[in-house]
Amino acid sequence: MVEIKAEPFPFPARPEEMALIVIDMQRDFAEPGGFGASLGNDVGRITRIVPDVKRLIQGFRNAGLPVIHTMECHKPDLSDLPPAKRNRGDPSIRIGDVGPMGRILIAGEPGTAIMPELAPIAGEVVIEKPGKGAFYATELGDVLKRKGITQLVFAGVTTEVCVQTTMREANDRGYECLLAEDATESYFPEFKEAAIAMIRAQGAIVGWTASIDDILETISHA
């Protein structure tokens, strides 16, 4: 066992049982004309963390540890899109509608793709998920079991929506969860800060948080 410097106390790492989960680094959340922008958000906040997420992914690849990517997306016939999700709020265009990057959040459309800088490489698992959490209605649990993974490092967007939801799902399933603070972002800085605080409060009630450098320092020497 090795330790990663983390909050609220060191993370007891078992690198051989660890995977990186990169949540939803898709064009739809980061580029004008996509889903994030349709909800009225400043997508520039997301684009800014791309080099940091890339560094974390590269560190896991260099250490020979699995990188798993997720994508929030729906089937072209919308059969996995509950009306309650499609009809939520007052977006400028809805999930399934045609936007400048193709149909919003639909599998296979250009805007739904993972950003090219962070694209999965051969052999990396990509989980397509219809919900905010990556365990709901996906094969993620089976994939992790098959690989013998018990510890998850999290990156991606947005901190308080898909990242936090997936961390809570994972925590309830018995995984030890560590959030890379500088490899996640929200459209709302105050929500990112609050999500980090609530994850590690009460003695890591949902999980730990750490910097990319401290995570890579430990796994590169493991």
CA 86 vs CA 37, 95, 130, 173: distances in Å? 16, 6, 11, 28
Tell me: cis bond preceding 158? Omega within 30 of 0 counts: yes
Active site residue 24: yes
Please say whether the beta carbons of 74 and 28 come within 8 A. Answer: no
Region binding ligand TIU by CB under 6 A among candidate stretches 77-85, 94-102, 156-164, 205-213? 156-164
Amino acid in the structure at residue 187: Y
The question of whether 162 is a catalytic residue gets the answer yes
Identity of the residue, 153 or 161, whose beta carbon is nearer to ligand TIU in the bound complex: 161
Binds ligand TIU (CB under 6 A): choice among 161, 178, 199, 212:
161
Closest distance to ligand TIU from the beta carbon of 42 (Å): 12
CA nearest to 23, candidates 122, 115, 145, 150: 115
Name which position in 157, 180, 199, 212 contacts ligand TIU (CB under 6 A): 157
Which value, in Å, is the radius of gyration of the alpha carbons in the chain? 17
Residue type present at position 38: S
Q: Which is nearer to ligand TIU, 57 or 157 (CB)?
A: 157
| Nearest to ligand TIU of 11, 29 (CB atom) | 29
**Residue selected from 158, 166, 209, 218 as contacting ligand TIU according to rule CB under 6 A:** 158
Length of the chain: 222
Helix axes 164-172, 189-204, angle to 10 degrees: 20
Q: For residue 96, how many C-alpha atoms fall within 13 Å in the half-sphere facing its CB? A: 14
Catalytic residue of the set 52, 73, 129, 132: 129
Stretch in the footprint of ligand TIU (CB under 6 A) among 51-59, 139-147, 153-161, 195-203: 153-161
What is the 8-class DSSP label of residue 123? T
- What is the pattern of x (binds ligand TIU, CB under 6 A) and - over residues 39-58? x-------------------
Pick one of 115, 140, 149, 162: the residue that binds ligand TIU (CB under 6 A): 162
Binding site for ligand TIU (CB under 6 A): 24, 29, 39, 72, 132, 157-158, 161-162, 187
